[in-house]
Structure 1
Amino acid sequence: MIAETVCAAVAAAGLGIAAITAYRKRFLRAARIAAYALVPLGLVMTGVVEWVADTAFSPTAWAGFGVLGAAWLLFMTTRAVERRRGVGGKERKETGSRSSRTEAIAPAASAPSLGRGAAPAARPAAAPRATGSGASGASGADDFSDIEAILKKHGI
């Protein structure tokens, strides 16, 4: 009974504010205020306010909300554990083709960057470094091949 009276008073006050706003030639704002003011009146007329008031003071309803909260908590906990362990339908299907996908991305990349299950890439034997002015020709290309493979792997 009190909730319905409060909602009716809020609706009347909102409609009064909407009328004053319309008098000031702000019709769009007045229409929006009137729409907000009519919501509590509509809730009273449909019986939602009475249902909410009865639910708010019902111990059975609060126990039901507690049971729903516990169910939600269990559901979210199991989802978090599944994600942490990597258990799921999609993860099991993709595990078999993982090594072929990573080799196609950067076959010359180092083994730790490819992930587990992939064989390390064959590495050419490094030529002995010669001391002198022509030393940077062959060994410089070998040094940058690993870097190029890593950059290709990341799409750079």
Structure 2
Amino acid sequence: MLTATVCVALSGAGLAVALLTAWRRRFLRAVRVAAVSLLPVGLYLAGLITMFRKIGEAVGDWAAGLVLKPSVWLGFAVLALAVLLYLIARLASGRSGRRAERKAAAGTEPGTAVAPAAQPGPRQVEPKKTKAGKNASSEFDDIEAILRKHGI
């Protein structure tokens, strides 16, 4: 009964503010205020206010039990352990998958032969001339020397 009275009072006050806003010729704002002011009565009539009260009481009871019951803390510890084990397994499977990919790319898996590194062959394309008349490949001579030095 008290809940209904409070909801009707809130809606009435909101509708009064909406009327004053409309009196000032701010009709769009007045409609918005009226829409918001009708929410308390609508929530009460739909039974949602009592539902929210019951949910609040249930959460409060659970929180009180959380503080006072060691079995609840043990439950959280078990949940944390389960999440930790799952993450460790996922991390380990990701690493082993990457290792297998590296071995396959390098050809060092058992039963595969290691192919010798390819030697650089003769050029098949003639170097292009730049505007200054120099060979375009001369710009890359330093890079080629470094690559040859490292056997690439």
**TM-score of the superposed pair, with normalisation by structure 1:** 0.47
Highest RCO, 1 vs 2 (Cα 8 Å, sep ≥ 6): 1
Q: In terms of Rg, which structure is larger?
A: 2
